[in-house]
Amino acid sequence: MHLKLVLLLACLGLARAGEQVRYDNYKLYQVQINHLQDSQLLRENEQVLKLDTWREARNLGEFSDIMLPPQYQETFESLLNRHNVSYILRFDNVQRMFDAQRPRQRTSSMEWTQYHTLDEIYAWLDQIEKLYSHLVTPFTIGKSYEGRPIRGIKISYKPGNGAVFIESNIHAREWITSATITYFIKELLVPRNPAVRDIAQGVDWYIIPVLNTDGFVYSHEVDRGWRRSRLPSDPTGKCIGTDLNRNFNYRWMQIGASADPCEQTYAGPYAESDPEISQLTSYINNSIPEGSIKIYISLHSFGQYVLSPWGHTAEEFPEHYPQMMAVAKGFADAVYRHNGTVFKYGSSPTILYEVSGSGKEWAYAVKNIIIPYTIELPDKGKFGFALPPEYIIPVSRELTEGFVGMIQAAREIDVL
């Protein structure tokens, strides 16, 4: 198939299995947003120039990370220059970044020096379920649109614990999330640090390493840059997939989501339209004792944020916002003490952007889970979604330390 056609199909999510999408000579720009008109300029040209926004500037003076294909780069640069918008070329060939994430020689056994496939992660889950059957209870919330089981585990050392629920890799291309959470699972099962042993034994952990199984497999086998699910909900048949973190049934499609099936933040034709989300909420509603989940975490990358409700407004804050901030501070302070990495924390619109229909909003407003977060893992844009595999272990250790601080802070205010 001709390269330009493959790239077009990639944008629409229609590339066939075996026809791997490549990002040769795609460039990643950091565009400085000094005026509101600068953001408007990018939005107006997003579809025309096939701009893929990896990260959006929150405040004036900050940078938006924008990827785009070769055929639009000259036009894009001329547009920015004409409007006196400053930019930096971060990478001149995104494919090289993606290639660096794939080992020349794969090992199917689970370790944390490479990014693993869904099959490899599931084979490892099979192993730990047998080795640690006294601690691990497997569960499956259902099947994805393409029929893949969506698997998770519960780790519990004793009855009567409060619980933390974590869903990871809801966005397919955020590989660092499933890599770090599987490392954290290992730490919970074989805790070497007394502080980790404490949070392993004193808390029940429900963890789904890969929620968006179809998208995750597609990102490994076809299109490394894929974000959404694989449900073909576009009535025209042009575009595939839903942004699953806009598909929850709370203030669905109110703000920070798109009704255009070809947009990255497409929220689906209706709330819980995708089986991944309808089955996740059903599992929490029907299979976990009411009130036992004290903390809900949706694990993402990138940016180094701990984001709380409300997502739909920066003018109002939820009743339990002080508790949310106290626990988020515990996470951020623990990571900073570990190695100096800085996480910002606050409600989504006050430090990043407005959003509705997300997991943390549903967890708080519908399930009354008073500590719900979206946690955006490192980095802050140097590599973005193409974080090299040598970062997996350092980021995993940061996350582990952060969870220790989070649980300690939650206990101090009697959440756990």
pLDDT tens column, 333-383: 999 999 999 999 999 999 999 999 999 999 999 999 999 999 999 999 999
pLDDT band at 15 (very low <50, low <70, confident <90, very high): low
Q: What are 50-75's pLDDT values in tens digits?
A: 999 999 998 899 999 999 999 999 99
Does 404 reside within a domain?
yes
Q: Give the per-residue pLDDT at 268.
A: 96
Please tell me whether residues 282 and 138 are part of one structural domain: yes
CATH value at residue 154: 3.40.630.10
Please tell me whether residues 32 and 162 are part of one structural domain: no
Does 238 reside within a domain?
no
CB 161 within 8 A of CB 289: no
Please tell me whether residues 320 and 251 are part of one structural domain: yes
Please tell me whether residues 95 and 202 are part of one structural domain: no
pLDDT band at 18 (very low <50, low <70, confident <90, very high): low
Please tell me whether residues 200 and 296 are part of one structural domain: yes
Q: Choose, from 174, 376, 398, 401, the residue flagged as catalytic.
A: 376
Does 320 reside within a domain?
yes
Q: Give the per-residue pLDDT at 7.
A: 46
Does 110 reside within a domain?
no
Does 239 reside within a domain?
no
Please tell me whether residues 57 and 172 are part of one structural domain: no
Please tell me whether residues 88 and 204 are part of one structural domain: no
> Which of 101, 131, 150 is the last residue in one of the domains?
101
* 412 among known catalytic residues: no
Q: Give the per-residue pLDDT at 234.
A: 81
- Across the chain, mean pLDDT equals 94
CATH value at residue 36: 3.30.70.340
Does 232 reside within a domain?
no
Please tell me whether residues 77 and 128 are part of one structural domain: no
Does 253 reside within a domain?
yes
Please tell me whether residues 311 and 163 are part of one structural domain: yes
Please tell me whether residues 131 and 275 are part of one structural domain: yes
Please tell me whether residues 406 and 266 are part of one structural domain: yes
Please tell me whether residues 37 and 168 are part of one structural domain: no
User: Structural domain of residue 308, as residue ranges?
Assistant: 118-223+245-413
Domains in the chain, number: 2
Does 236 reside within a domain?
no
pTM of the entire structure? 0.94
